[in-house]
Amino acid sequence: MEYKLASNTTTRVISQEFDYSVPASLEEALELRDEHGDDVRPLAGGTDLLIQLKADVRTESHLMYVNGLDELDDVSETEEGLEIGATVTYDDLMNSSLVDQHVPILAEAASDAGGVQVEKMGTIGGNLCNGSPAASTAPPLLILGAEVVLESVDGERIVPIEEFFTGPKRTVLEPNELLTSVRVPTPASDRWAHEEIKRVTEDLAKVIVSVSLECDDGTVTDCGIGLGCVAPTPIRATEAEAAIRGEPATEETFARAGEIASDEISPISDSRSTAEYRRLITETKVRDLLVDAHETNV
C-alpha cells in the first residue's frame, strides 16, 4: 500500500489491478493478514476504499472481502453494554433495538451518514479503520468510552478508541490485524445530544459534535464532548470537559465549555469549511448541545 496525490483519473473505472480473496472464516482472514500484512487490504462496504482506488490515491495489490464473515456482523449484549461487529452497517445501527436501548446516540450518528444507499453499505469497522477526522461514529464512541477489538493470529488486543486514531488516515491497526468489533459500555446517563453540521445530508460533515452530561442536584458531575473534523483525528475536548465538571449546570457554564473547546481544537481550512468557521460553530454547538442534553427528560 502506498499513498500519493490524486491524479486526474476517471471515476468510471478502477484502473489498477489487484488480486481478490474471500476468506471463509475469520481465522482464514487473519491467516491471510498474517502472511501478507498490508499487502492484503480488507474490503468491507467499499464506500471509502473504492473511491481511493479509483482516484489512485492508494495502490493495493490484493483485496480481501470481509463483509461476508459471520463472526463480524452481529450486535450483542455484554455485561457492560454492547459488542458491535466490524461489518455492522449504519442501517443495522439505526434499526437495532439493542442499540436503541443501550446507546441511542450511535443510531442518531448513523442516521446522519450519507443517505439510504450509503447507510446500507458503509460499516462501522470501515468508518473507524479509514481513519478520517470526519468519521461519523467516532465522536459518540469517544464520549461513550468505547474500545475496539483488534485481532491477529496471535490473539486480540483491546484498544480504547481514544488511542486508536493517530493522524489523518492513520490508526494503530497493525498490518497483521483486523478490527473485529467495537465494545461500547452503556452510559450512566440518558442526557446526550449529537449533531453533524453539513451542507446536505450526503456530505461529509464540516463539524461533528457529540455531548453527554451527568448532573446531580443542578451540578455537572460528568460530561463528554466528542468532536469531529476539527483536528487531525476525532477528539474529546478534554479541557472543556474538565472545566465544567463540578460547576452549576447552567447555560453560562455550557457557554464556557464552548469557548474552551473552540480554543483547544486545531481545525484546518479545506473544501468543506474554513478553520475560522469551524472554531465558531464548535463554540456555539458545544454550548447548544449541552443545553439540549441538560433539558432532556431523564
Partner 1 sequence: MSSEKITHGDDGGNERTIELTINDETHQVRVKPNELLLNVIRDKLDLTGPKYACGTGECRACSILVDGEPELSCLRLAVTADGSEITTVEGLSDGRDLHEIQQSYLSEGGSQCGFCTPGFVIMTKDLLDNNPDPTEEEIRDHLKGNICRCTGYNNIVEAVKVAADRSPENGESE
Binding residues vs partner 1 (CB under 8 A)? 8-20, 22, 43, 46-47, 50-51, 53-54, 63, 65, 67, 91, 114-118, 120-121, 200-202
Q: Residue 105 phi/psi, 5° resolution?
A: -60, -30
**125 counts as binding ligand FAD under rule CB under 6 A:** yes
Which among partner 1, ligand FAD, none contacts residue 42 (Cβ within 5 to 8 A by kind)? ligand FAD
**84 counts as binding ligand FAD under rule CB under 6 A:** no
Task: Specify the amino acid at residue 165.
Answer: F
Span of 91-99, 131-139, 246-254, 270-278 interacting with ligand FAD by CB under 6 A: 131-139
Among all chains, which residue has been given the C-alpha cell 479545506? 270
Which among partner 1, ligand FAD, none contacts residue 126 (Cβ within 5 to 8 A by kind)? ligand FAD
Indicate which single residue of 40, 110, 123, 192 sits in contact with ligand FAD (rule: CB under 6 A).
123
Neighbours of 159 (CB within 10 A): 17
Of 118, 119, 65, 125, the C-alpha closest to 93 is 119
**129 counts as binding ligand FAD under rule CB under 6 A:** yes
Residue closer to partner 1 (CB basis): 47 or 152? 47
**118 counts as binding ligand FAD under rule CB under 6 A:** yes
Residue closer to partner 1 (CB basis): 22 or 215? 22
**135 counts as binding ligand FAD under rule CB under 6 A:** yes
Measured between alpha carbons, how far is 105 from 137 in angstroms, rounded to an integer?
A: 9
Residue closer to ligand FAD (CB basis): 12 or 217? 12
Least Å from the CB of residue 214 to ligand FAD:
27
Which among ligand FAD, partner 1, none contacts residue 35 (Cβ within 5 to 8 A by kind)? none
Identify residues 205-224 at the interface with ligand FAD (CB under 6 A): none
**234 counts as binding ligand FAD under rule CB under 6 A:** no
Residues 22, 67 contacting (CB under 8 angstroms): no
* Residues contacting 186, CB < 8 A, separation 6+: 80, 81, 82, 102, 103
**226 counts as binding ligand FAD under rule CB under 6 A:** no
Binding site for ligand FAD (CB under 6 A): 41-49, 66, 86, 112-114, 118, 121-123, 125-127, 129-130, 134-136, 173, 178-179, 202, 204
